[in-house]
């Protein structure tokens, strides 16, 4: 019906083509769309609500999802906020989208029987220059104000050319015209509608969102079945025409329409009813009997079928086929007894598990024909979905509790053993390092410290030191020293020269090594700090553990509340079904009594006529 | 025992407050609580199971699908298959309408990684089409969020497969 979604998709595609960096909020929005298209409105809502930013468009989607989830209060609260934003305010909703929301909420209020708020929402609709949503607006206006609707001087085919609601709008106008003694004009308008009918376009994203027609989404080629809708529209107009002809006592014209009515039409039952009326008026008894039998066959447990049962006898009685009439009345009597028995059998209290598929034909019929019962059924099923999902949620909670416990154990281990051990090792390393630094600085004060030598010069110096010590011992024992002291002094001088010559380079290397070691120790310190931070998560994990316990309890309470609410709704559904059963049994009883009276009357006539025949024969 | 008592008390208080409101409103309140519970559970799962320090998430999006129709996608992380998905017509339709599919979420160690995505489907002229795309990334403290994009390339009427990292800004 609307071209809004292709526009949105095009907008997204062009945004990608332009390679503009899309925000994370936009990504959340498109992930919500994924869940939405896969018919998971709860998942879509969750994704949308996790988005870091929300704009008017996401809030509109949120409102639509709330409506999908049968949460109208939340939807209305959101939509009212959105509508209160003036058009000039930054990020305000475009008028076209505002109109979608206003129209769908007006429809919702109307369906709830709240005409005043429906009218208020409708008043705020401002149709844009392209006339988008005009048809919806006019149709809703008609429904809210029925039968005081606006009547144009001529059907507005040109104005409503692109509006899928055109046939409904104009046929409604024709009906009002017929009620005000302008049935000629009405019939003329209806005839023109049939010529104007075109195949309708697919529904748009926003309309689907609010109308909740999920089943249409499952078609890969499009949102709706245009040909089926076309047929239904055509049949609707034809039926309205037939109705007007009947009002005008033009039974032949009505007959011409209805005798060719498609047997597989969704409006077949209404057509049969009108047709039986015409045939009764025209006294076409054989055809009428066929129609009445069709009604009985096609509409079990309905007032129409029950009435048809007794009417067969009436029609036969009318054409003076009293024996056949008596047989028909007897059959109707049996039929009523059977219907009552079947209804009582099929009206056993409903269980939740039966609501999806296990309902009896009678129960299914009651729920399909009554919006209150239907809503009750839907509410019970939606609660059941939550209850079914609760088991999965409980598993997720249990898994999270396990993970938290494991992490807490790891934390405790880290804090109690690993972290202190690592700290001890780090402290020991740092102590050794500072001692080494002190030793180096002390050695640097000496002219030629052995500790600062390394490699071959270190060995040479070590040997020289040993030789000097031996020389000192020899000196103490007054041994001849020859020229050893001079040679050793010369060697020391040589080593001193070598040491002085390479001192700068060795100092630089020493400083570099010290810096590297300091860097490694610093890195170790950082890693320790990171570990300590990990250790600090104990508190958060304990909070999470506590929260999970709370959530688990909350979930159990919710389950209890949901279960209780479901039982309450189920009791109400069963009570209402029982009320309907009693009402229908009473109706059936009245019809049966009426049928018995007719049967008695015919029997009397049969007896009288047979008595007359017998007396005649006797004479 | 204490928790049980509190729960029972809360349960009764919930019932008591609920009795005053219409059934539809009560039901809506309960549904809202379920939604909140789910949301909180999701956030805790993110925190505990997929912390940013290790999180790798892969998403998939498509253009209008003019030159390619996706049948399946396989994800290979560091030469090990980590995920695969077969697409229904409904899912492909959702992607063409602008939806983004959350394809994979997992944990990886800090350091260098290699992700390969293998796309299988129908290319131009309805021919069988198989294409792989590689992406190397370094995992640090922030979560790595990658979007596999299937774009229509009008210059040569071929599909284009791109890995686009998401910015956390």
Backbone angles phi, psi at A255, to 5 degrees: -60, -40
Q: What is the pLDDT of residue A375?
A: 87
Task: Summarize the confidence of residues A587-604 as an average pLDDT.
Answer: 92
Decide if A71 and B32 are in contact by the 8 Å CB cutoff: yes
What does pLDDT average to over chain B? Answer: 86
pLDDT at A210: 62
Q: How much is the pLDDT for A87?
A: 62
A52 touching B, CB under 8 A?
A: no
In this prediction, residues B55-74 reach a mean pLDDT of 92
* A80 or B33, greater pLDDT: B33
Give B35 to chain A, closest Cα distance, Å: 7
Cβ(A381)–Cβ(A359) under 8 Å?
Answer: no
Span A501-510, mean pLDDT?
78
Q: Encode pLDDT of A362-398 as tens digits.
A: 999 899 888 889 989 989 998 998 899 899 999 999 9
Q: Where are the alpha helices (DSSP H) in A445-536?
A: 455-476, 484-535
* Residues of chain B positioned with their CB less than 8 A from the CB of A391: none
Question: For all residues of chain A together, what is the average pLDDT?
Answer: 81
Contact A46 B10 (CB under 8 A): no
Instruction: State the nearest Cα–Cα gap between B114 and chain A, in angstroms.
Output: 24
Nearest neighbour of B99 by CB, restricted to A33, A404, A558: A33
Q: A205 to chain B: which residues are within 8 Å by CB?
A: 97
Contact at CB, A400 and B30, closer than 8 angstroms:
no
DSSP for residue A525: H
Would you state the structure tokens that stand for residue A44, as one six-digit string? 């879509």
pLDDT at A211: 58
Q: Residue for token digits 């208020």?
A: A120
Averaged pLDDT for residues B70-95: 95
The CA-to-CA distance between both ends of chain A, in Å, stands at 81
Q: Which tops the pLDDT comparison, B107 or A502?
A: B107
B116, containing H or E segment: strand B111-122
Q: Are strands B80-86 and B128-139 parallel, antiparallel or unpaired?
A: unpaired
Alpha helices in chain B (DSSP H): 2-20, 23-49, 89-96
- Note the pLDDT of residue A613: 63
Please give the C-alpha separations between residue A19 and each of A13, A288, A570, in angstroms, as whole numbers: 10, 70, 54
Please name the member of A31, A400, A569 whose beta carbon is closest to the beta carbon of B48.
A400
Tokens of A445: 């004060």
- In this model, does residue B7 exceed pLDDT 50? no
| DSSP 8-state class, residue B143 | P
Whether the per-residue pLDDT at A178 is higher than 90: the answer is no
- What's the pLDDT at A196? 72
* Under 8 Å between Cβ of A176 and A213: no
Question: What phi and psi values does residue B78 have, to the nearest 5 degrees?
Answer: 50, 50
pLDDT by residue (tens digit) across A316-360?
888 878 888 888 899 889 999 999 999 999 999 999 988 888 889
Residue among B14, B147, B151 minimizing CB distance to A557: B14
Report ipTM (2 d.p.).
0.88
Q: Do A9 and B98 touch (CB under 8 A)?
A: yes
Q: Cβ atoms within 10 A of the Cβ of A295, count?
A: 23
Q: Is pLDDT at B8 greater than 50 in this prediction?
A: no
Name which of A37, A72, A385 to mutate to probe chain B: the one with the most chain B Cβ atoms within 10 A of its Cβ.
A37
Confidence at A202, pLDDT banded by 50, 70, 90: low
Which pLDDT belongs to residue A16? 38
Rg for chain B (alpha carbons), in Å?
22
Neighboring chain B residues of A216 at a CB cutoff of 8 Å:
none
Confidence tier at A614 by pLDDT (50, 70, 90): low
Cβ A557–B7 below 8 Å, yes or no?
yes
By percentage, how much of chain A surpasses pLDDT 70? Answer: 87
The full 3-state SS of A195-237, as one line of letters, equals HHCCCCCCCCHHHHHHHCCHHHHCCCCCCCCHHHHHHHHHHHH
Residue B49 pLDDT > 50, yes or no?
A: yes
Instruction: Spell out which residues of chain A touch residue B90, defining contact as CB-CB under 8 Å.
Output: 37-38, 217-218, 220
Contact A34 B28 (CB under 8 A): no
- Residues A183, A176 contacting (CB under 8 angstroms): no
Residue with more model confidence, B7 or B33:
B33
What pLDDT band is residue A214 in, cutting at 50, 70 and 90? very low
Nearest Cα residue to A106 out of A129, A139, A130, A131: A139
Cα separation values, A252 from A188, A249, A293, Å: 17, 9, 22
Instruction: Give the model's confidence band at A219: pLDDT under 50 very low, under 70 low, under 90 confident, else very high.
Output: very low
**H or E, element range at B85:** strand B80-86
CB contacts of A72 in chain B (<8 Å) are 28
pLDDT higher at A212 or A482: A482
Q: Which of A568, A358, A341, A109 is nearest to A576 (CA)?
A: A568
CA-to-CA distance for A483 and A475, rounded, in angstroms? Answer: 12
Confidence grade of residue B168 (pLDDT, cut at 50, 70, 90): low
User: In the predicted model, is pLDDT for residue B9 greater than 60?
Assistant: no
CA distance A56 to chain B (A): 18
Give A9-34 pLDDT, tens digit per residue: 333 333 333 334 457 778 888 999 99
Inter-chain residue contact B99 with A69, CB threshold 8 Å: no
Residue A548 pLDDT: 93
Min mean pLDDT across A217-231, A244-258, A409-423, A582-596 is at A217-231
Of the candidates A286, A247, A214, A224, which has an alpha carbon nearest to the alpha carbon of residue A64?
A214
Per-residue pLDDT band at A224 (split at 50, 70, 90) = very low
| Per-residue confidence (pLDDT) for residue B20, from 0 to 100 | 53
Q: Report pLDDT digits (tens) over A281-304.
A: 877 778 888 888 888 888 888 888
Mean pLDDT of A455-465: 80
Which of A300-314, A320-334, A563-577, B13-27 is predicted most confidently? A563-577
Nearest to A308 by CA among A280, A281, A327: A280
CB contacts of B42 in chain A (<8 Å) are 46, 50
Query: Cα(A238)–Cα(A257) distance, rounded to whole angstroms?
Result: 7
Of A24, A403, A555, the CB nearest to B166: A24
Q: Is the pLDDT of residue A421 over 90?
A: no
Q: How far is CA A272 from CA A279, A289, B160, in A?
A: 10, 12, 58
Give A557-615 as a 3 state SS string.
HHHHHHHHHHHHHHHHHHHHHHHHHHHHHHHHHHHHHHHHHHHHHHHHHHHHHHHHHHH
Give the gap in angstroms from C-alpha B113 to the nearest C-alpha of chain A: 23
How far does the CA of residue B131 sit from the closest CA of chain A (Å)? 21
Show the CA angle centred on residue A469, arms to residues A466 and A474, nearest 5°.
Answer: 125
Ramachandran category for residue B79: left, alpha or beta (phi over 0 → left; psi -120 to 50 → alpha): left
Q: Are A49 and A62 in contact (CB under 8 A)?
A: yes
Chain A CB contacts of B28 under 8 Å are 70-74
Q: Region A195-212: what's the mean pLDDT?
A: 60
What phi and psi values does residue A198 have, to the nearest 5 degrees?
A: -125, 165
């Amino acid at each position: 019906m609307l071209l809004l979604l292709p526009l949105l998709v095009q907008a997204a595609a062009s945004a990608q083509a332009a390679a503009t960096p899309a925000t994370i909020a936009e990504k959340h929005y498109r992930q919500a769309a994924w869940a939405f298209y896969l018919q998971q409105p709860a998942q879509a809502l969750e994704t949308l609500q996790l988005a870091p930013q929300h704009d008017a468009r996401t809030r509109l989607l949120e409102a639509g999802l709330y409506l999908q989830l049968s949460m109208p209060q939340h939807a209305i609260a959101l939509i009212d906020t959105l509508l209160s934003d003036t058009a000039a305010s930054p990020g305000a909703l475009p008028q076209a989208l505002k109109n979608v929301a206003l129209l769908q909420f007006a429809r919702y209020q109307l369906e709830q029987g709240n005409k005043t708020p429906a009218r208020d929402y409708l008043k705020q609709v401002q149709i844009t220059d392209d006339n988008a949503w005009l048809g919806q607006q006019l149709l809703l206006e008609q429904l809210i104000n029925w039968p005081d609707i606006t009547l144009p001087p001529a059907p507005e085919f040109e104005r409503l050319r692109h509006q899928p609601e055109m046939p409904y709008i104009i046929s409604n106008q024709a009906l009002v015209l017929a009620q005000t003694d302008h049935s000629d004009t009405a019939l003329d308008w209806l005839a023109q509608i049939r010529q104007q009918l075109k195949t309708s376009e697919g529904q748009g994203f926003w309309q689907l969102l609010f109308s909740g027609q999920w089943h249409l989404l499952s078609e890969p080629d499009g949102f709706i079945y245009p040909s089926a809708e076309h047929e239904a529209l055509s049949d609707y107009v034809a039926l309205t025409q037939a109705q007007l002809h009947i009002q005008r006592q033009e039974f032949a014209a009505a007959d011409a329409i209805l005798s060719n009515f498609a047997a597989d039409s969704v409006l077949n039952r209404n057509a049969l009813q009108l047709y039986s009326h015409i045939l009764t008026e025209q006294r076409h008894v054989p055809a009428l009997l066929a129609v009445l039998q069709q009604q009985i066959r096609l509409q079990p447990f309905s007032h129409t079928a029950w009435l048809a049962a007794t009417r067969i006898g009436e029609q036969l009685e009318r054409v003076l086929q009293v024996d056949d009439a008596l047989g028909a009345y007897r059959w109707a009597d049996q039929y009523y007894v059977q219907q009552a028995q079947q209804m009582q059998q099929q009206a056993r209290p409903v269980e939740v598990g039966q609501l999806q598929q296990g309902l009896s034909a009678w129960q299914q019929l009651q729920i399909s024909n009554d919006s209150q019962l239907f809503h009750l059924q839907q509410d019970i099923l939606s609660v059941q979905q939550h209850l079914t999902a609760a088991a999965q949620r409980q598993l997720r909670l249990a898994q999270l509790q396990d993970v938290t416990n494991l992490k807490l154990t790891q934390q405790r281990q880290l804090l109690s053993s690993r972290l202190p051990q690592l700290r001890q090792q780090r402290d020991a390393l740092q102590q050794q390092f500072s001692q080494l630094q002190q030793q180096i600085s002390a050695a640097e004060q000496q002219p030629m410290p052995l500790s600062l030598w390394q490699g071959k010069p270190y060995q040479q110096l070590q040997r020289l030191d040993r030789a000097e010590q031996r020389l000192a011992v020899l000196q103490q024992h007054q041994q001849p020293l020859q020229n050893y002291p001079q040679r050793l002094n010369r060697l020391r001088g040589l080593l001193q020269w070598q040491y002085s010559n390479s001192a700068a380079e060795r100092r630089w290397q020493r400083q570099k090594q010290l810096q590297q070691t300091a860097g490694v120790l610093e890195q170790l310190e950082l890693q320790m700090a990171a570990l300590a931070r990990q250790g600090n998560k104990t508190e958060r994990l304990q909070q999470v553990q506590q929260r999970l316990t709370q959530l688990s309890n909350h979930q159990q309470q919710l389950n209890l509340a949901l279960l209780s609410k479901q039982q309450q709704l189920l009791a109400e559904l069963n009570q209402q079904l029982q009320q309907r059963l009693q009402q229908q049994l009473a109706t059936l009883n009245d019809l049966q009594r009426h049928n018995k009276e007719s049967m008695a009357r015919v029997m009397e006539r049969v007896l009288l006529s047979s008595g007359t025949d017998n007396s005649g024969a006797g004479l | 025992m204490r928790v049980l008592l509190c729960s029972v008390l809360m349960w009764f208080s919930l019932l008591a407050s609920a009795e005053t409101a219409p059934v539809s409103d009560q039901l809506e309140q309960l549904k809202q609580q379920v939604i909140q519970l789910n949301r909180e559970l999701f956030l805790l799962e993110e925190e505990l199971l997929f912390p940013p320090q290790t999180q790798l998430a892969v998403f998939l999006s498509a253009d209008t699908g003019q030159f390619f129709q996706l049948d399946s996608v396989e994800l290979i992380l560091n030469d090990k298959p980590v995920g695969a998905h077969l697409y229904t017509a409904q899912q492909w339709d959702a992607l063409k309408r602008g939806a983004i599919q959350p394809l994979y979420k997992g944990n990886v160690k800090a350091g260098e990684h290699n992700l390969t995505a293998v796309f299988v489907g129908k290319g131009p002229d309805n021919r069988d089409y198989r294409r792989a795309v590689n992406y190397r990334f370094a995992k640090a403290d922030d979560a790595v969020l990658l979007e596999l994009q299937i774009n229509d390339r009008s210059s040569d009427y071929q599909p284009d497969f791109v890995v686009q990292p998401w910015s956390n800004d």
